[in-house]
Amino acid sequence: MQNPDVKLDDDARPTGRIQRANSLAGDVYEAIFQQLMSLKIAPGSRITVDNLVRELDVSHTPIREALGRLEGEGLVIKTHLIGYRAAPQITRRRFDELYELRLLLEPAAAAKAAAGLDAARLAALQEAAGVMTRRDGRDERLRYSNFARQDAIFHDKIMEFAQNEIIRETLNHQHTHFHIFRLMYHSRVTEEALDEHEAILSAFAAGDANAARTAMRVHIENSRDRLLPAFE
């Protein structure tokens, strides 16, 4: 018979190492993500691994891991023999195309989600939206980058509940929220969006598909109008 103590010990040691490695990699990723979202690392600028090693006081490995993850999220571009740079700012044309796509897909999906919403799903959406209103932490940069991520999660949850995985994947693939929030580092971008999210949640709570469609359309149109001055 297997000795349970030995088994536990064998399992515990490597897991402990992995967890420590994950949390360091996660911290390094968060630090670089915040710098990209708050434009401290300017769009299109070079990212030097050695500089980040000095600044964050960690080894090369977690930095390369973080940059690889950010590359997958469309925020960092790696060029062979040259190295890393921040993804350039989204162009006006791409921005217009992105909002056209969102306006075609998201209001309809919100209506569909509202029609099929139960108490558990409504609670999940309220939780996702609620995280954004918490103003804990004095670090503005942290708050802004968290908001961008939570907004992506909130919108993705609605797409999940609309139950069309092709639409969900199509929108996810654009990394929309990371790109648009990087256009402008301003509290207005986040504060006005909160009211619009409330309107979407009210429509969901009322089970009103048409109101959900309208509220989502208004939110996306307002979001576009808030960010347009970035191109002037």
Binding part of the chain for Zn ion, among 4-12, 39-47, 51-59, 149-157 by CB under 5 A, reads: 149-157
Least spacing, CB of residue 194 vs Zn ion, in Å: 9
Q: How many residues does the chain have?
A: 232
Taking the least distance from each CB to Zn ion, the nearer of 53 and 98 is 98
Contact 168, 159 (CB under 8 A): yes
Binding part of the chain for Zn ion, among 36-44, 69-77, 124-132, 146-154 by CB under 5 A, reads: 146-154
Distance, in Å, from the CA atom of 177 to the CA atom of 33, rounded to the nearest integer, reads 13
Pairing mode of beta strands 46-47, 76-79 = unpaired
**How many residues bind to Zn ion according to rule CB under 5 A?**
1
Token digits of residue 64: 């390369």
Contact 69, 29 (CB under 8 A): yes
3-state secondary structure of 166: helix
Binding part of the chain for Zn ion, among 29-37, 60-68, 85-93, 148-156 by CB under 5 A, reads: 148-156
Which residue of this chain has its Cβ atom nearest to Zn ion in the complex? Answer: 151
Distance separating the N- and C-terminal Cα atoms of the chain: 73
Taking the least distance from each CB to Zn ion, the nearer of 85 and 177 is 177
Least spacing, CB of residue 4 vs Zn ion, in Å: 49
Binders in 5-44 for Zn ion, by CB under 5 A: none
Taking the least distance from each CB to Zn ion, the nearer of 86 and 193 is 193
Q: Is 151 in the site for Zn ion (CB under 5 A)?
A: yes
Reduce the secondary structure of 23-81 to three states and give it as a string: HHHHHHHHHHHHHHHCCCCCCCCEECHHHHHHHHCCCHHHHHHHHHHHHHCCCEEEECC
Taking the least distance from each CB to Zn ion, the nearer of 108 and 151 is 151
Binding part of the chain for Zn ion, among 1-9, 38-46, 91-99, 145-153 by CB under 5 A, reads: 145-153
Q: Is 106 in the site for Zn ion (CB under 5 A)?
A: no
Taking the least distance from each CB to Zn ion, the nearer of 117 and 151 is 151
Least spacing, CB of residue 155 vs Zn ion, in Å: 6
Ramachandran angles phi, psi of 138, nearest 5°: -90, -10
Please give the distance of CA 103 from its chain centroid, rounded to a whole number.
19
Contact set with Zn ion (CB under 5 A): 151
